[in-house]
Amino acid sequence: MEDGEEKDILTLAIANQMKKSYLTWNKDSVTDDLILRDLGEFSKGKLTLKPEFKLQDRREIQTPNKIKRRPMHQSHTRRK
């Protein structure tokens, strides 16, 4: 893939997924530097992040999304 905005966005997504996977399996904190170093190593230097791109915070990754649910009613449909 040629360098550009799309590659930068996809590289950030890959790095965030790497961090998420690391935290899922290790339950320890991981530094962004380690993730970025591994990203570069695994891609043989083809994937790097610009300094203005930041990885997700550990708390964002480890906190499950809260799903808003509607209250359950006695009947979901009205009978005639």
How would residue 78 be classed by pLDDT, with cut points 50, 70 and 90? very low
Read off the pLDDT of residues 21-40 as tens digits, 9 standing for 90 and up: 888 887 677 889 999 999 99
Angle 76-78-79 from CA coordinates, rounded to 5°: 125
pTM score of the predicted model: 0.63
Domains of the chain, residue spans: 5-52
Cβ neighbours for 16, distance < 8 A, ≥ 6 positions apart: 55, 56, 61
Tell me the mean pLDDT in the region 59-75: 58
